[in-house]
């Protein structure tokens, strides 16, 4: 299926590993042009080189979120260097630094990162004529999960923000959607660390997934690519659960 992504300009953070890395790989394979960033300069450069070797147009810069104005200016400059922005995928998160219980980091990175990213890139997305935003939430936002913590609550707030933004921006032709992955395991990820430190929790979680396995980054990446693409041109304001049946809630 041709998703209509050839030549589309995508901006995404956290791109050196995990789900975000997989998203860039899927989008690049579809012909999209990638503007990406990560805190890990070495891993980011290795990933940039790999994508470029495959024929993708890639712009990559290391960046650590520290201050709202600095982030907005960075994104504006990245979009300028890329030649625009048709798609913005907000996937930077406190979970990447193991700070899911840190309220300040979760608020600044997950929530304000979404707000600042969207507002900074709004002019580019509106000019696109087919602007699309995907906000990375979590199944921890739609059900109680483990313990009361910042990550869960902030990811829930992001869904509300994205839904309202989808209605506010519809007149500009900008779609806004959310994805909520369930347990996803990959080398260096949180669930691999849980497997090593708390194997009983890892095994118990695995047994609760009806499809019988943890998710892989590619499982989420393919859904993100579809939702971001012109193939989903009539979808906005939705939250797609990607969890192998892990969550038990019913949504009508």
Output the tens digit of pLDDT for each of the chain's 252 residues.
689 999 999 999 999 999 999 999 999 999 999 999 999 999 999 999 999 999 999 999 999 888 899 999 999 999 999 999 999 999 999 876 677 778 999 999 999 999 999 999 999 999 999 999 999 999 988 988 777 788 899 999 999 999 999 999 999 999 999 999 999 988 887 788 788 888 888 888 889 999 999 999 999 999 999 999 999 999 999 999 999 999 988 877
Q: Which residues pair with 120 in a beta bridge?
A: none
Query: Radius of gyration (Cα) for the chain, nearest Å?
Result: 17
Any idea where the domains of the chain sit in the sequence?
9-182+216-242
End-to-end CA distance of the chain: 29
- Cβ-count burial of 67 within 10 angstroms (0-12 exposed, 13-18 middle, 19+ buried)? exposed
Question: What is the rounded CA–CA span in Å between residue 245 and residue 178?
Answer: 18
Residue 97's pLDDT is what?
A: 67
* Tokens 């994104």 -> residue: 75
d(CA 136, CA 240): 10
Where on the phi/psi map is residue 119: left (φ > 0), alpha (ψ -120 to 50), or beta?
A: alpha
Q: How far is CA 122 from CA 84, 114, 208, 224, in A?
A: 11, 12, 40, 19
Q: Which three-class secondary structure state does DSSP give residue 37?
A: strand
The pTM (predicted TM-score) of the whole model is 0.94
Q: Distance between CA 14 and CA 39 in Å, rounded?
A: 7
pLDDT of residue 101: 77
Which of these, 168, 154, 144, 31, lies nearest to 135 by C-alpha position?
154
Q: What is the pLDDT of residue 147?
A: 78
Q: In 3D, which of 35, 43, 42, 40 has the Cα closest to residue 12?
A: 35
* CATH superfamily assigned to domain 9-182+216-242: NAD(P)-binding Rossmann-like Domain (3.40.50.720)
């Amino acid at each position: 299926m041709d998703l209509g992504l050839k030549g589309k300009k995508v901006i995404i953070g956290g791109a050196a590993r995990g789900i975000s890395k997989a998203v860039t790989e899927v989008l690049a394979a579809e012909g999209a042009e990638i503007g990406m960033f990560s805190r890990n300069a070495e891993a980011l450069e290795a990933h940039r080189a790999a994508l470029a070797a495959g024929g993708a147009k890639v712009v990559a810069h290391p960046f650590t979120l520290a201050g709202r104005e600095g982030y907005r200016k960075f994104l504006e400059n990245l979009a300028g260097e890329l030649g625009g922005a048709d798609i913005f995928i907000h996937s930077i998160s406190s979970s990447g630094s193991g700070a899911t219980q840190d309220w300040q980091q979760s608020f600044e990175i997950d929530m304000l990162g979404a707000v600042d990213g969207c507002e900074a890139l709004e002019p580019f997305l509106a000019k696109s004529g087919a602007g699309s935003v995907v906000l990375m939430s979590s199944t921890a936002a739609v059900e109680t999960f483990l313990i009361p913590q910042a990550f869960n609550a902030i990811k829930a707030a992001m869904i509300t923000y994205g839904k309202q933004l989808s209605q506010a921006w519809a007149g500009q032709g900008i779609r806004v959607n959310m994805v909520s992955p369930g347990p996803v395991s990959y080398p260096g990820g949180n669930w691999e660390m849980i497997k090593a430190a708390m194997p009983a929790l890892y095994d118990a979680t695995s047994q609760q997934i009806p499809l019988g396995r943890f998710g892989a980054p590619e499982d989420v990446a393919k859904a993100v690519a579809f939702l971001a693409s012109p193939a989903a041109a009539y979808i906005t304001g939705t939250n797609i659960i990607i969890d192998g049946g892990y969550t038990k809630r019913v949504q009508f």
